[in-house]
Structure 1
């Protein structure tokens, strides 16, 4: 099965305490200076802008994480100002990168404006989603796999994937031992809920002893299924995840529809013959 199955990253973590984003409850002037130096300052607003985008951390890590982010901001601002003084902001590549960043930020901001505040899906909608995706919830499986996990840029990775598909995991193991003896087999577990909808047919055909290839961010996994266990998730356990999934789908549909209308109104046409072929 030469297809690579890209797993859906599972999000986790504790909610950041409110004081992580601002000032632990005390009201302060929005542009209050928090770092000073010779012709240098950083305001609370600048720090808060970064903190709002920071990933969640454990409560006891709030203070050290906040300080680490501030130190990073100081370094970044010093280096940026030094770069401007050196005239790097006039270099073509830098100008292009700034324009690309501006374009991305504006596009994301407009997408958020289109979506607005998501209404929470109804209990009936959540239940329907649960019932319509048994492979993710009520009939969720856990696959215990022995595999080789290598970076996506690993040498000859396509050759190894083809070997697994044609001759099986034993042949792959022999080849890996000869070519890359430092790359060891690993034992891993994957839930069926981590696999994309396109993997449904493959998933239904898997059994102990089946060879499998799939991808996670930055990694390619080539292995063999050892055992398959039933690991269902109850409706109550899945409700929050389903609610977020439904809202995410709504956002994607809203933005996709808006982009389609914008393309039509602006008569967008790809004229390069090599790029005109529709992606598959």
Structure 2
């Protein structure tokens, strides 16, 4: 039920501020007298014929979330030691001509393209407008299952393997059963494979489509969802009220809405670029693209397009809501 979580521009800026503080502390620690001032502002360590700059140390420090100013010097020194080890390995790799290995060259180029594409996505996302108090209230009111009527669910879940005929029969039968034991017995009697577990779930950890169904149910009722290989069924063993006020949820909603706006800006931006670009598929990819266009189907593939900086679409277990509401459970 989880979606990948992405770093936001706001987090990067906060980390950058801490990185600047850390660098200032590190410069004092690494620098000597007046004569060393120029060198220490540029070089943190010399490793054989190579050098590690303070900028490299600072870059790593920027990525340390939650770093406090008083931790900067100690963390900076640990970062520097790690960079020394890295530099030694890099020097050996170059000496052994690994930087000319076709696989390594391809990996370096892929990393470069990814960094540039993400930088462009971040630039687009910067235009996202912050949610207004009215936006936050509207979102709060539109999701009672998440907030005003929030419940913690105790579920007895079944992951069932079934063919088309079995699925149809089970979808009709399961809602009439009074317990998880009855379902387990019925499945065993017909030799249908299944896995069962008991879980406690907060609504922010549940996809919205499934949550909307759960919110309508009382204890002792079932929710059944078809899957490609069978069915997922869950008996609501308990549903304890745990409402969250608008004020308590405000920060989480604000962050989520901003993240979602950034995601949409990036998605729309790439879509616009596709619309104005000349794209020609060649060889076997031309045939595959033509077949996909004719059937209107698409094969799921690994994500290589620019990643939106933060947030998710309809799944409300995104980082913003999950972390924002975690203290309220």
TM-score normalised to the size of structure 2? Answer: 0.59
Does residue 243 (structure 1) correspond to residue 254 (structure 2)? The answer is yes
Deviation at 1:32, TM superposition (A): 2.8
Instruction: Name the count of aligned residue pairs.
Output: 247
The question of whether the paired residues in 2 share the 8 Å contact of 1:126 and 1:242 is answered with yes
Deviation at 1:227, TM superposition (A): 1.9
- SS of equivalent residue, structure 1 residue 71: helix
Does residue 273 (structure 1) correspond to residue 288 (structure 2)? The answer is yes
Match among 160, 163, 170 for residue 162 of structure 1: 160
User: Residues 57 and 140 of structure 1: is their aligned pair in 2 closer, same or farther, counting only changes over 3 Å?
Assistant: farther
Does residue 121 (structure 1) correspond to residue 120 (structure 2)? The answer is no
Question: d(CA) in 2 for partners of 1:209 and 1:9?
Answer: 34
Question: d(CA) in 2 for partners of 1:222 and 1:36?
Answer: 62
If you compute each CA radius of gyration, which structure gives the higher value, 1 or 2?
2
- SS of equivalent residue, structure 1 residue 278: coil
TM-score normalised to the size of structure 1? Answer: 0.68
Match among 195, 199, 205 for residue 194 of structure 1: 205
Question: d(CA) in 2 for partners of 1:210 and 1:269?
Answer: 53
Structure 2 unpaired stretches of 5+? 8-13, 28-37, 189-195, 226-231, 301-329
Q: CA RMSD in A?
A: 4.3
User: Residues 237 and 272 of structure 1: is their aligned pair in 2 closer, same or farther, counting only changes over 3 Å?
Assistant: farther
- SS of equivalent residue, structure 1 residue 161: strand
- Greater RCO, 1 or 2 (C-alpha within 8 Å, sep 6+): 1
User: Residues 82 and 199 of structure 1: is their aligned pair in 2 closer, same or farther, counting only changes over 3 Å?
Assistant: farther
Question: d(CA) in 2 for partners of 1:265 and 1:189?
Answer: 48
Structure with higher helix content: 2
Question: d(CA) in 2 for partners of 1:46 and 1:6?
Answer: 34
Q: Tell me the alpha carbon deviations over residues 51-109 of structure 1, each in whole angstroms, 9 at most, x when there is no partner.
A: 22233357886665544444333333322332222222222221221121111111111
1:203 aligns with 214
- SS of equivalent residue, structure 1 residue 6: coil
User: Residues 223 and 242 of structure 1: is their aligned pair in 2 closer, same or farther, counting only changes over 3 Å?
Assistant: same
- SS of equivalent residue, structure 1 residue 142: strand
User: Residues 103 and 213 of structure 1: is their aligned pair in 2 closer, same or farther, counting only changes over 3 Å?
Assistant: farther
User: Residues 58 and 161 of structure 1: is their aligned pair in 2 closer, same or farther, counting only changes over 3 Å?
Assistant: farther
Question: d(CA) in 1 for partners of 2:117 and 2:4?
Answer: 24
The question of whether the paired residues in 2 share the 8 Å contact of 1:208 and 1:225 is answered with yes
Q: How does 1:56-205 map to 2 (within 5 A)?
A: 56=66, 65-116=75-126, 118-145=128-155, 161-163=159-161, 171=184, 188-204=199-215
User: Residues 81 and 114 of structure 1: is their aligned pair in 2 closer, same or farther, counting only changes over 3 Å?
Assistant: same
User: Residues 40 and 100 of structure 1: is their aligned pair in 2 closer, same or farther, counting only changes over 3 Å?
Assistant: same
User: Residues 67 and 265 of structure 1: is their aligned pair in 2 closer, same or farther, counting only changes over 3 Å?
Assistant: same
Does residue 6 (structure 1) correspond to residue 2 (structure 2)? The answer is yes
